[in-house]
Amino acid sequence: MITPVRVRFAPAPTGLLHIGNGRTALFNYLFARKERGTFILRIEDTDAERSTDASIEAILQDLRWLGIFWEEGPDGKGQNGPYRQSQRLSLYRDDAEKLLGKGKVYKCFCSPERLESLRKEHLSRGMMPKYDGRCRSLSEGEISKLEAGGLRPVLRFRVDKGMIVFEDLIHGRMNFDSDGIGDFIIVRSDGMAAYNFACVIDDHSMHISHVIRGDDHLSNTPRQILVYRALGWEPPVFAHHPLILGPDRSPLSKRHGATAVSQYREEGFLPDALLNYLVLLGWASPSGEEILSMEEIVEAFSLSGLSRNAPIHSRKKLEWINTQYIRKTDKDRLTQYLLPYLEKGGIAVNQLDGKYLTQICGLLKENLFILSQVEEYLGIFFDEKFFLEEEAKAVLVAPQNREALQTVLRVLEGLAEMEGDSGPSLLTQLEEKTGLKGKSLYGLLRAGITGKMKGPELVRILPLLGKERMIKRLKMALELSQLKKDESSKFES
RNA sequence: GGUCCCAUCGUCUAGUGGCCUAGGACACCGGCCUCUCACGUCGGGAACACGGGUUCGAACCCCGUUGGGACCA
């Protein structure tokens, strides 16, 4: 019989969800969907010092936002729980006892100081720092004596000679000589299970079939396989993917810029765009297509297709992908996405005409590559945010433009209210009346009406602004021009 | 220090012994479009880390060197 595919994503709740972890979650999720398996979320919060409930909440929220959903997890779903390591301590204790009984692990009383000097000594002699096994064969008597003295032992795994071989779905056959592995700790002196131990117990009891995780765990794997064997269990299949690096080839961290999924959300990246980007770091669709829907990705995805070298994060590529997604989004939906950013920019969106808002958003979508950029354009459409940029001012106060401005104003004042498609005819009319065309006219209008030198197409902006607002803004521009004129004439006299 | 992983344009990658004078995408540069930015479109520069083998033939296989990364504490 074929064992059902069960995979897990197991973050430590010590902070925000990193995009690297998001990518690991994604690979697991994709594999589960591809194989019609189960995706499980487990929280590795044995580090009580650094783990917080707030972080757990944030991680769950980020995963949901990304559209990565779990069938079993700490929020009550699933029959193989609990799904928080901090609630599984008794399980670890039971299996540790079992191993102790079988002589697979032993109590070690060596002090941190001794361990440290041992390590230094090894290092200085050009040897690998590895536990020397001093407590390996302590007698019952010695153990009770030490314990009576108040010493709390750690539990160490007895590593025997031999080769540990396993097949990694991404790297192929892996060989490790157990000689390179010292007797490692499975339970700390405070009774807390060590990572390599807890992880095995959890994966086994949750019936995990495939462990898909970062490369950083590759050399932990032989230790874990040893634990599986000692307990008489069959290890799962492993797949270790490389970690994302920063532009300097060091592990991606805060000094390289935004690393958290939530930061990208706040900046205005779309979840599907982030996911699409993340899967492209280390994987290419056989078709060569780069913008792919989740369905298409699931269809084409395979673990063996993952690259073995570590990818470097490229903000530019992410932005490009996000642009593609923004442009694909229909304007009603985009308006919904943009609402929070408008509010943040100080626009009372609930007092606005929904249709007007949708029109603005539809227009802006050609110009945005992240949602938060909408704030840059607020001044075009909302008077309370309107202001003249320096370059725009320069255009407006130029003496040769003064007359043209006045002409434009006259035309506008004689105009009936603007209709939706009256942009082109108005512009034609202005060309005739001012005798200007091309850049000289459009640039002037753009400066006076939007206060900026760049933005969406002018023809499409005009009807959205309406006659009154254009007149108001152009009058401001004229006043400025007048002021400048007075100044310079004063200067001359 | 030991063990392990990795090595194609600046970046993500395609490529699994002849289809490769190495393909695509982002970025960059230039043309076109155009009131601007962006989009779009057309074009350009740009890579098999190095050295040995194996082979009629190597980006692809083997060994070494160099470089990067991880783990071990």
Tens of pLDDT along A291-323? 999 999 999 999 999 999 999 999 999 999 999
Place of tokens 């004129």: A485
Confidence label for A408 from pLDDT (cuts 50, 70 and 90): confident
The more confidently predicted of residues A187 and A419 is A187
Question: pLDDT, tens digit, for every residue of A29-44?
Answer: 999 999 999 999 999 9
Nucleotide closest in space to A174 (CA vs C1'): B4
| CA–CA separation, A273 and A369 (whole Å) | 11
User: β-pairing, A237-241 with A210-214?
Assistant: parallel
Q: What's the whole-number mean pLDDT along residues A202-217? A: 96
DSSP A207-234: T--EEEEEGGGGGGHHHHHHHHHHTT--
Which residue's CA shows the smallest distance to C1' of B68?
A: A249
Token reading at A29 = 């999720």
Q: By percentage, how much of chain A surpasses pLDDT 70?
A: 93
Q: Helices marked H in A68-206 — which ranges?
A: 89-101, 112-124, 140-148, 195-205
Confidence label for A493 from pLDDT (cuts 50, 70 and 90): very low
Q: By percentage, how much of chain A surpasses pLDDT 90?
A: 53
pLDDT for the residue A418: 65
Q: What's the whole-number mean pLDDT along residues A59-85? A: 94
A196 CA → B24 C1’, Å = 42
Partner residues linked to A157 by β-bridges? A105
Strands lying side by side in the sheet with A237-241: A38-41, A6-9, A210-214, A237-241, A163-168, A172-177
DSSP A160-191: PSSEEEEEETTTEEEEEEGGG----EEE-TTS
Nucleotide closest in space to A248 (CA vs C1'): B68
Q: Are A294 and A396 in contact (CB under 8 A)?
A: no
SS3 A474: helix
SS3 A42: coil
Statement: residue A424 has pLDDT above 80: no
Burial of A421 (0-12, 13-18, 19+ CB in 10 A): exposed
What b-and-e string marks burial along A173-204, b requiring 16 or more CB atoms within 10 Å of the CB? ebebeeeebbbbbbbeeeebbbbbbbbbbbbb
Q: Which of strand B's nucleotides are less than 7 A from any protein C-beta?
A: 1-8, 10-14, 23-27, 35-39, 68-73
Question: pLDDT, tens digit, for every residue of A122-151?
Answer: 766 666 667 877 888 888 888 888 888 888
Confidence label for A487 from pLDDT (cuts 50, 70 and 90): low
A177 CA → B68 C1’, Å = 24
| CA–CA separation, A16 and A59 (whole Å) | 6
Statement: residue A454 has pLDDT above 70: yes
Statement: residue A54 has pLDDT above 90: yes
Statement: residue A246 has pLDDT above 50: yes
A427 CA → B15 C1’, Å = 54
Question: pLDDT, tens digit, for every residue of A362-383?
Answer: 888 888 999 999 988 887 888 7
A179 CA → B3 C1’, Å = 9
The more confidently predicted of residues A493 and A169 is A169
DSSP symbol at A153: P
Nucleotide closest in space to A458 (CA vs C1'): B35
Say what the pTM is.
0.92
Q: Are A463 and A363 in contact (CB under 8 A)?
A: no
Q: Which residues of A are annotated as catalytic?
A: 254
Q: What's the whole-number mean pLDDT along residues A192-200? A: 94
Question: pLDDT, tens digit, for every residue of A252-282?
Answer: 988 898 999 999 999 999 999 999 999 999 9
Tell me the one-letter amino acid at A124: S
